[in-house]
Structure 1
Amino acid sequence: MSASLGLVIYAAVKPIFKIYFIIGMGFFLAKRNILPVTTCRDISDLIVTAIMPCLIFNNIVSYLSSSDIKSIGIIFFEGTLLFGVGAGLGLLTHYVCKSPKAWFGGLVSVGLFPNISDLPIAYLQTLAKTGSLFTAKEGNKGVAYVCIFLASQVFYQFSLGLYKLIRYDFRDQLAAADAEEKVGTSTETASTSDVSKKSACADEKDQHEASAKTSAKTSSKTSSKTSAKVSEAAATNDGPKFSPRYSDDSGSIASDDLEAKSLTEGTGKDANKHPPTTMGSDHRNSTATSTCASHVRRRRSSSIAIDNPLYMTSSRAADSRSSVVEDMGDLIVEYSEFQRLKTHETQRSQRSQAVADDDESSQEYPVAAPVEATAPLSKRIRAHVISTLKNFLAPNSVTLIISLIIAMSPPLKALFVSTKFHIAPAPDKQPPLSFVMDIASYVGAASVPLGLLILGATIARLKVNAIVPGFWKTAVMITACRLIVMPIFGVGLTTGLQKAGWYGDDRLIRFVSVLEFGLPNATALVYFTAFYTDPNSPDHLQMDCLAICLIAQYAILFVSLPFLVTFSLKVSLGF
């Protein structure tokens, strides 16, 4: 098939317009607070739990068969090289540019994990829509190949635990927090005796006061009964008769106003009595107060709207647009598990200390030693294998395994799609379970647009608070490795595999493989970094370094990726 150079260039550039437009839309919605951090997190969970599994099931069952087992093995081999070479380039960048030691694991992760699914799927779907270079069937089969690449990344990143590389950068902060926790525990233990003495004195004083109050209540009981009878008679004869018309919504509106006012005033009084000790606690208190007040306002607006349907109520989106735009600090607060990790580290150290101090046997409750310190090597290996296998229970992994089983078995595949294997059709002359494919196709189509919107919202929240001196060299080198060196390596690798006869006549797998080597980093690294970041820390060096690298990569992606696609289509594939 021969195509003009102009057609190839236009076909390579056209998907970039769509990709960057959707990313820009997510950027705009995040700046308007229409896509706040909590909404982005819910959408991400929705994609991982339901939408992406539907996309995987639809494309793998429909377009892969038992003859593609060789291609699946090639993709896993190329994925291993992709991640291994990327990690090696990250290590090389660290030592050549003398990158910050506090961002060692993060830099290796930048070289290790690309945005392996959303961008190539968007490219393939756009190229296949016109039919000038790839047919619709080839485009969908290419999406299935991308899903296999995604499976290889999930295997290395989650099943083998390589995402924990980012935790390595926060070891000093967790150790410092552990030391502070120990100091606080010792101080609390030292002050326990004084508190117990004061409480004993207070108990004696309370007993004397209680006996005095009992005698006073006994003497006043008779007079209280007489006054109660008089007041009851007065209420029966002269009291006002309340009718239902007095209990209208105006009363509820007034009570809501008083409630909102009391919330605000009470919070202010509490803040004066108990000033916040940390910046994070102050942020959470103010957030909780504003949330309660906004809930009262929405409830009051809804009660007015019931009486007057013409009353225009403001939506939640309008309320969020009027508030302060959320930034990286809000994302860290939403995703951070630093306090829980700190508590876990403290408990581990306490258990280890309890095991080491055999002489101190005066504990009320025995402290169990951690499995890592007491279990034999065989049990530790078995526990690691079990935890690895549990990671295969994720929705994407389960769906991938089930989809491959169905795709490789002709009788099972014939239940979902039309194949050469004969099976009794449904009354509409379609396979009996074709409606399952309709559902999967309909739901899975939302995966890539939503993923690109979340990508744009994440980029909108990237913020660099401080730049480490000389870090620009690290950012330039890792960007060049990611978007220049890796594509060159990918073109050379696929050319060698083609000459070795690995691909056969399947040009699509070669194109998808080259495309995977020219992608920037996955923005999921932002969430992994936020997971280990202390929200109360005055500086976030790891997040600043990651933000600089992501901004640099996505700033030149619109040039590097079309150039790689044009070269692959015209030179490597011979279009």
Structure 2
Amino acid sequence: MLSVGQLIWVSCRPLIRLVLCVGCGFAITKADIFPAVAARGAGQIMLNIALPCLMASKVIPAFDSSNIKALGPLVLVALSYEIIGIAMAWIVQQIFWVPHRFRFGILVAGGWGNYGDIPTNVIMFITGAAPFNGTSDQTLSVAYISAFLLVFFITLFPLGAHRWIAMDYVGPEVEDDEIRKTQKLRWKAFFSGKWLRDVTNVVNLWGQRPKAILEVEREEMGNIESPTAKGTIQSTGNDNPAPPLRFSPRHKIDQGKCVSFHLDDTATETAISPTGSFEVGTFRATPSVVTVTPIEIVSSAKDEILPKSFVPKPRTSSVKRRLLRAVNMAFMFFRSSLESPASLSIIVSFIISLVPPLKALFVPGVPGTHIPSAPDGLPPLSFLIDTASFIGAASVPLGLICLGSALARLKLPSGQWNKLPLGAIGGLAVGKILIMPVLGVLICQGLANVGVIDKGDKVLRFVCIFFSCLPTATTQVFLTQVYSGTGTAEHLSAFLIPQYILMFISMTALTAYSLQLLF
């Protein structure tokens, strides 16, 4: 049993290393010797080479048929954290006003944490020493981390959560003052007690659109009433558009501009931010201008012009073709995202680790198999594991340096603090960094008590608990820069920095409590 002083020191040591590494990236960026193009290149190396090697070198030796059952609880906990985070961000959005261009981004900020460099650095450090069992537990912990990373990749990219960020930049601009005014009206109606007499009016007021959006809608409705309008859709930049995004009814599509996604067969680029966090997605986002005018209304006068033998062709076949085309494009995007180096490395490593003859080619001492050894007495492909371990060691420090570089480039509005959504910023930071760890401990302890998580697997329990205290993924910085069209992430930076400041206090306390709980 560790003393209080030992618990605090063990919890602080990995954070000190983290701060120093992030500080180096911050310092060289401020000194203008680590430009954005260099940070982007370092991130590409980390994501496409170092991280896949790290995952392969840890997953293959660590997993086998005896502990693969831990994969289910890991995926369950990861999905639970994402769902709770999204719900928490939605509650913050309902209580406090949020900028119009961050109305969906706040949901991504709440649901997806930094599952890459930060937890890998801290967990590897803690599980590599007492009270854990050293190298064996360290290897197993990284294998467990890979399950969280796989859920992160699949839910954010193939399943389309990144499109929420794109939806922020669709529709007319709405001033912050207008949003604040609407929010005040909602709360005024709620606290006045009128909802006791007329619940319907309160619900309608809560869903009231800002005036700027209503004016655009009225103008569009006026155009639809014209019987001479001709329905045409002109698009540039993409001859084969991907499935259209679905938008909330509260936000009308701006007449003309949206972001379309399509796959490029000739050049596939892995999206990576200067942060070095694990942004992935083999997609290319290209803004395209779409001009939409109302579909022509067939009037009686038009019927007289048409020949009597004219019979409109059924549109069922065209609808089916569009649907099949949309499903096909979605499947292609999902498949291409899974084929990214990091995701593919994790999936292939799991397969190798569960097939004893394959695993015996890389790792010695696999029971029930006999593979001829290399001249050095080791399995014939063990040199690949050694190489992967050597390259993978660069993943964590390189990612932390790039994280510091990204934080150095975030800009907060100077002298305009009164115009920031301080309530939403504080609410999300408190919910994600202070409340979420409490819920994480309760969830993991509950799953352990009912037998979903093995109580004897202390590494599994520690990894599951630790992932509850992570701040918003810096992946979102890059995605916001892509979809904004201006290359900026002005709203996100204000939400991001307070979380990373509170993280050091929350992470130290949670680590100390987890070690006391487990040992």
Under a length normalisation based on structure 2, what TM-score does the superposition of the two structures give? Answer: 0.71
What displacement does 1:64 show?
A: 1.0
Structure 2 residue matching 1:341: 3-state secondary structure: strand
Q: Write the distance in 2 (CA, Å) between the matches of 1:376 and 1:454.
A: 42
Structure 2 residue matching 1:67: 3-state secondary structure: coil
What displacement does 1:390 show?
A: 2.3
How many residues matched? 393
Q: What is the aligned partner in structure 2 of residue 127 from structure 1?
A: 126
Is the 1:64–1:144 contact (alpha carbons within 8 Å) kept by the matching residues of 2? yes
What displacement does 1:101 show?
A: 2.6
Q: What is the aligned partner in structure 2 of residue 507 from structure 1?
A: 458
Alignment of 1:471-510 (within 5 A): 471-504=421-454, 505-510=456-461
1:457 aligns with 2:405: yes
Q: Write the distance in 1 (CA, Å) between the matches of 2:285 and 2:392.
A: 35
* 1:521 aligned to which of 461, 467, 472: 472
Structure 1 residue matching 2:114: 3-state secondary structure: coil
Q: What is the aligned partner in structure 2 of residue 224 from structure 1?
A: none
Paired letter, 1:28: A
Alignment of 1:267-306 (within 5 A): none
Q: Write the distance in 2 (CA, Å) between the matches of 1:130 and 1:9.
A: 15
Q: What is the aligned partner in structure 2 of residue 170 from structure 1?
A: 169
What displacement does 1:407 show?
A: 0.4
* 1:341 aligned to which of 269, 286, 294: 286
Is the 2:60–2:352 contact (alpha carbons within 8 Å) kept by the matching residues of 1? yes
Instruction: Work out which of the two has the higher radius of gyration on C-alpha atoms and give 1 or 2.
Output: 1
**Residues 205-239 of structure 1 deviation map (CA, whole Å, 9 limit, x = unaligned):** xxxxxxxxxxxxxxxxxxxxxxxxxxxxxxxxxxx
1:69 aligns with 2:68: yes
Higher share of residues assigned helix: 1
1:156 aligns with 2:104: no
**Residues 463-515 of structure 1 deviation map (CA, whole Å, 9 limit, x = unaligned):** 02355735111111000011111101100000001101122221111100010
**Residues 188-213 of structure 1 deviation map (CA, whole Å, 9 limit, x = unaligned):** xxxxxxxxxxxxxxxxxxxxxxxxxx
Check 1:128–1:513 CA distance in 2 against 1; reply closer, same or farther (3 A cut).
closer
1:546 aligns with 2:496: no
Q: What is the aligned partner in structure 1 of residue 221 from structure 2?
A: none
Paired letter, 1:445: A
Alignment of 1:306-455 (within 5 A): 341-342=286-287, 344-346=288-290, 349=291, 375-418=321-364, 419-420=366-367, 421-455=369-403
What displacement does 1:340 show?
A: 7.3
Check 1:354–1:97 CA distance in 2 against 1; reply closer, same or farther (3 A cut).
closer
Q: What is the aligned partner in structure 2 of residue 11 from structure 1?
A: 10
Is the 2:128–2:137 contact (alpha carbons within 8 Å) kept by the matching residues of 1? no
What displacement does 1:438 show?
A: 0.8
Q: Write the distance in 2 (CA, Å) between the matches of 1:461 and 1:534.
A: 17
What displacement does 1:345 show?
A: 3.1
Paired letter, 2:438: I
Is the 1:26–1:454 contact (alpha carbons within 8 Å) kept by the matching residues of 2? yes
Paired letter, 1:417: V
Check 1:128–1:492 CA distance in 2 against 1; reply closer, same or farther (3 A cut).
closer
Is the 1:372–1:380 contact (alpha carbons within 8 Å) kept by the matching residues of 2? no
Q: Write the distance in 2 (CA, Å) between the matches of 1:382 and 1:525.
A: 27
Q: What is the aligned partner in structure 2 of residue 469 from structure 1?
A: 419
- Indicate the larger mover: 426-435 or 164-173: 164-173
Check 1:556–1:398 CA distance in 2 against 1; reply closer, same or farther (3 A cut).
same
Q: What is the aligned partner in structure 2 of residue 100 from structure 1?
A: 99
**Residues 300-322 of structure 1 deviation map (CA, whole Å, 9 limit, x = unaligned):** xxxxxxxxxxxxxxxxxxxxxxx
Is the 2:285–2:483 contact (alpha carbons within 8 Å) kept by the matching residues of 1? no
Check 1:82–1:507 CA distance in 2 against 1; reply closer, same or farther (3 A cut).
same
Alignment of 1:27-106 (within 5 A): 27-106=26-105
Is the 1:467–1:544 contact (alpha carbons within 8 Å) kept by the matching residues of 2? no
Q: Write the distance in 2 (CA, Å) between the matches of 1:46 and 1:452.
A: 13
Q: Write the distance in 2 (CA, Å) between the matches of 1:52 and 1:372.
A: 44
Structure 2 residue matching 1:130: 3-state secondary structure: coil
Q: Write the distance in 1 (CA, Å) between the matches of 2:17 and 2:38.
A: 23
Is the 1:60–1:404 contact (alpha carbons within 8 Å) kept by the matching residues of 2? yes
Is the 2:99–2:491 contact (alpha carbons within 8 Å) kept by the matching residues of 1? no
* 1:564 aligned to which of 506, 510, 513: 510
Q: Write the distance in 2 (CA, Å) between the matches of 1:425 and 1:133.
A: 32
Q: Write the distance in 2 (CA, Å) between the matches of 1:77 and 1:440.
A: 29
Check 1:72–1:340 CA distance in 2 against 1; reply closer, same or farther (3 A cut).
closer
Q: Write the distance in 2 (CA, Å) between the matches of 1:159 and 1:142.
A: 26
Q: Write the distance in 2 (CA, Å) between the matches of 1:506 and 1:85.
A: 25
Is the 1:145–1:512 contact (alpha carbons within 8 Å) kept by the matching residues of 2? yes
What displacement does 1:355 show?
A: 9.0
Structure 1 residue matching 2:157: 3-state secondary structure: helix
Can you give the 5+ residue segments of structure 1 that lack an aligned partner in the other structure?
A: 180-327, 330-338, 360-368
What displacement does 1:518 show?
A: 0.6
Q: What is the aligned partner in structure 2 of residue 243 from structure 1?
A: none
What displacement does 1:381 show?
A: 2.6
Is the 2:285–2:482 contact (alpha carbons within 8 Å) kept by the matching residues of 1? no
**Residues 242-280 of structure 1 deviation map (CA, whole Å, 9 limit, x = unaligned):** xxxxxxxxxxxxxxxxxxxxxxxxxxxxxxxxxxxxxxx
What displacement does 1:383 show?
A: 3.2
Structure 2 residue matching 1:440: 3-state secondary structure: helix
Check 1:57–1:356 CA distance in 2 against 1; reply closer, same or farther (3 A cut).
farther
- Indicate the larger mover: 17-26 or 414-423: 414-423
What displacement does 1:372 show?
A: 9.6
Structure 2 residue matching 1:425: 3-state secondary structure: coil
Q: What is the aligned partner in structure 2 of residue 293 from structure 1?
A: none
Q: What is the aligned partner in structure 2 of residue 534 from structure 1?
A: 485
Check 1:10–1:478 CA distance in 2 against 1; reply closer, same or farther (3 A cut).
same
Structure 1 residue matching 2:103: 3-state secondary structure: helix
What displacement does 1:73 show?
A: 1.2
Under a length normalisation based on structure 1, what TM-score does the superposition of the two structures give? Answer: 0.64
